Amino acid sequence: MKPAAAGCALLGGLCLALCLGGARGLPRSGDSEWRKLIMVHHWPATVCKEVEDDCKDPPDYWTIHGLWADRAEQCNRSWPFHLEEIKDLLQDMRIYWPDVIHSPSNRSSFWKHEWEKHGTCVAQLDALDSQRKYFGKGLDLYRGLALNSMLQKLGILPSGNYYQVSDIKDALASLYGVVPKVQCLPPEQGEGVQTLGQIELCLTKDLQLRNCTEPGEPAGSWRGAGPARPTRSLEVCEDGPVFYPPPR
């Protein structure tokens, strides 16, 4: 896995990356209220398959899809994205938060989408109330959660063999102490198994890890990967076998 820094992270340092921030009450419309943050990681090989795109050299490690609120989209359309505000983050953004689908010349359109659709919603928190804080905190959480190294530690590696969805969920829950959400690309007609595509880890507004779902709460599904629309969409994985595709 490429991101060596993430691979060296230990669970003992996780709290240092998560224990910042507090809620700030900003004027909001009723349909923009939200209860939890979602740190969304996606697997590039599955992203390429999802949009039926011949991606050029997709990363061979889990990358950031976004940092989302659970109940909000495009909360402040008057707050545009400005690339220059995250100039000091660009080196890490290109590695850990890349646009898997589009060419490097169009990479910032993905970040623009994530800010306008999701960043403007979570900006009610002091820890996320600017573009610099939003993307910087997303990178901090990614490094602190260290999903790539945690999966390796669990022995869950891309393979031609299948895993059980319940085994992946239970193993991650044992390490993080909370229940994640695992999403898959459903099989095409004629295919026999779903494909691992996305892993979400959820946080409170105080940026503390929490379960992604509670009893009686709907599991939810794919929220949109940005400018490209897939012909098939990620869904919460069904219990049973799952394919974790090796990088192409």
What's the pLDDT tens digit per position in 109-121? 999 999 999 999 9
**pLDDT reported for residue 101:** 85
Alpha-carbon span 166 to 143, nearest angstrom: 25
Alpha-carbon span 78 to 120, nearest angstrom: 9
Question: Is the per-residue pLDDT at 125 higher than 90?
Answer: yes
Q: How far is CA 91 from CA 111, 123, 154, 175, in A?
A: 14, 23, 29, 29
Structure token pair of residue 59: 């990363």
Asked if 85 is an active-site residue, the reply is no
- Over residues 121-137, mean pLDDT: 96
By DSSP bridging, strand 235-236 and strand 181-185 are antiparallel
**Residue bearing the bigger pLDDT, 13 or 84:** 84
**pLDDT reported for residue 6:** 45
Structure token pair of residue 208: 């503390």
pLDDT for 5-35, tens place per residue? Answer: 444 443 444 443 443 333 333 434 444 588 9
Alpha-carbon span 8 to 200, nearest angstrom: 21
Asked if 118 is an active-site residue, the reply is yes
**pLDDT reported for residue 21:** 37
As a whole-number percent, the residues of the chain with pLDDT over 70 amount to 75
Catalytically annotated residue among 41, 65, 102, 113: 65
Nearest to 144 by CA among 90, 56, 73, 64: 64
Question: Is the per-residue pLDDT at 207 higher than 50?
Answer: yes
Residue 242's pLDDT band (cuts 50, 70, 90): very high
Rounded to the nearest 5 percent, the helix, strand and coil shares of the chain are: 35, 15, 45
Residue 77's pLDDT band (cuts 50, 70, 90): confident
Lowest-pLDDT choice from 43-47, 172-176, 185-189: 185-189
44: left (phi over 0), alpha (psi -120 to 50) or beta: alpha
Catalytically annotated residue among 102, 116, 118, 200: 118
Nearest to 16 by CA among 200, 128, 145: 145
Catalytically annotated residue among 50, 114, 116, 200: 114
Question: Is the per-residue pLDDT at 74 higher than 80?
Answer: no
pTM of the model: 0.82
- Over residues 65-80, mean pLDDT: 87
Helix ranges (H only) for 157-207 are: 165-176
pLDDT for 142-184, tens place per residue? Answer: 999 999 999 999 999 999 999 999 999 999 999 999 999 999 9
Alpha-carbon span 22 to 119, nearest angstrom: 16
How many Cβ atoms are within 10 Å of 134's Cβ, its own excluded? Answer: 25
Half-sphere exposure for 247 (CA within 13 Å, toward CB): 15
Q: DSSP letters of 93-114?
A: HHHHS--SSS-GGGTHHHHHHH
Of the spans 93-107, 130-144, 220-234, which averages the highest pLDDT?
130-144
Contact call for residues 195 and 237 (beta carbons, < 8 A): no
Nearest to 122 by CA among 47, 30, 28: 28
Tally of residues, the chain: 248
Domains of the chain and any CATH numbers: 33-243 (3.90.730.10)
**pLDDT reported for residue 230:** 47
